[in-house]
Structure 1
Amino acid sequence: MKKTILWAALCLLLLATAAQAAPVTVKSAWLTEFEALPAWYAHERQWDAAAGITLDMRLYPSGKYLMDNASSIKWDVAGLGGAPGVLGMLRKQACVVGIGSDEAAANVVFVRADSPLPAALRDSPSARDYARLVTGKIVLCPRGTSAHQLLLLWLDKMGLGEDSISLLDTPPDEAIAGLAGGLGDMAVLWAPATHAAERAGLKPLLTGKDIGLVQPTLLMARTEYAETAAPQVRAFLTCYLRAVEALQAMPRAELAALYQRFQREFCGQDISREQAMRDVDTHTLYPLARQRELFASEDGLQRWLEDVIVFHERTGELSRGQTRKLRELALVRADLLPESLPEGE
């Protein structure tokens, strides 16, 4: 009898130990974009398990969808653009825990092949002459997005406002089909929609990087989750940033091939080697040391978030009272960045 009791107690102890050691599932939400690559690679290499978690990775159609449905989806961590991210911060739904990538070079103004704008830009016209070519044009662009932010800054550079053009609030797929079919004069898009635009015969005019814009994608955690599960958020950042450093050490061709596989296996879309190379070249990833610098610098993450806040105020999405409230909130959690990363493979 005593042996039976001892055996039962030992089994219970082993089960409790196994349960304790089992990785905790972290629900992560992503778009079909570059900032999801490190998370996917970390999960493939089982670096999430090494950090004590299992990344459950799910795809969603947009950052706006993620923030609008945060209470029903109940994601724990997510990667999305600054434009929808800031609105989530205002509602105290989420906070920034890291930087995914800079996608300014992947936000592009497209025109049809017969547009006079590319030739005019190559001839370096005066701002007045260039503005004359743009004034009155019909632009297909989703409002409140990083593409819209690029459009407004470009108009600013020419001394124009949004009222100088006709902006049609158009989702990327519809914008590509519309412009290729003769509707409008320009479309403003982001990768990977830019690949579809090129396949449709549209021509890039300029990117956000061309005009000095920085457009970070953000790694965010639901506010409640960051407060109650800080070790899991830190574990997520540990495996994510471990993958960032591994990806940065890869030869360009190897990274492009990996990115093609990521797009095929996780995002469900095939892209060419050339498109993969371009996405690799037009997205900047930030290792742990650089993340720390950007979190601490007044000209880093806080400045980038301020640019997004100003953008939303200009479009009317945010009132002055709301922007004032945003500036008073603790928007970022630098304390959740890991102290260090595991060495080697």
Structure 2
Amino acid sequence: INWACSTRARSIATAPRLTLVIGDEPAAAAATALGFTAVPSSAFASKELFSLRERESRAAAAFGSWPHSGWNAMSIVAMSDLVQLGFHTLLSDADTAWRVDPRPWLEAAHSFTPCVSFVERARGRELAQSLAENSDGASQRHLKAAKQHRGRRGRRETRAGGTQMLPSIWRIEHRPWVLCAASHSRNEQLYPDLMMMDDWRWDTRGPGNSGFLYVRANCRTRWLVQLLVSGLHVQIKKGSDQEYWNRVLDSDEVRGISFALLPELEFLNGPLLLGRRTRWQAPPTELPRNWSVMHASWTASHHDKVGLLQKMGGWHLLPHVTINATASSCTSVGTA
């Protein structure tokens, strides 16, 4: 409900384009009172789904545990239905807050380039600096050989303990299909099929964060969502919808899909909110206040999300209201 309150506080027009998939009756009633269309979880056979095993709680203490993966499975099915019907679809988790309506930005053309190109640019700058500092007549060939040696050493160091500027460089290079926001590029993509928040990781659960993702409806993404639904039992069993999304996007079968990471200073995610430096852009001296969307991810528990939302002015519920919120629980401005 806090997310719904954030759209109300910012006067973001959500109806009639926005549909909310809601589970229990109190939440559905609150969403309806706020002007949303509430689709009951029973439309996705939730009774049969949740009967598969005992529910741990309404909000499982451990992320990805049951019934969390069941709710995520329903969101993927709903997204698939909308994309198949020809609708561009945005999935925004309950722990997100909107300061401005992100949909006009997501629907417009923006320049994206392969993330690996940032690595090449960094290496080019380093090589140019080496050439400029060379004063003993060493040949460019020798300098290049030294640079390659440093590059190999850098990869080993990355595997061992990471690097400050571009973490897991060797993994970035093995995913040349991942796109990042850029001012201009010769190989630019203007309308990626799929965009996610940057989760600042290149392991099995990265690099995208599935808590905020946008899918354009076209022939490629219709096939993609059909593929996602056909393997949904894997996501339910595994628990993490984010890992499921990223592993599917990494497979050879979807190389025709263009996949981009959203600019992290406009679409704030947990790594940046919790003090890690920016990856692709110059690190700010303080967190930006003109963000569009924030996602309270990377927290140790659900309870910690409230403080993170409050920190950025994204908490829009009355004091001491954290569960069983209604439409009257909203505040007019975000609390920080």
Higher helix share: 1
Same fold (TM over 0.5): no
TM-score, length basis structure 1: 0.23
TM-score, length basis structure 2: 0.23
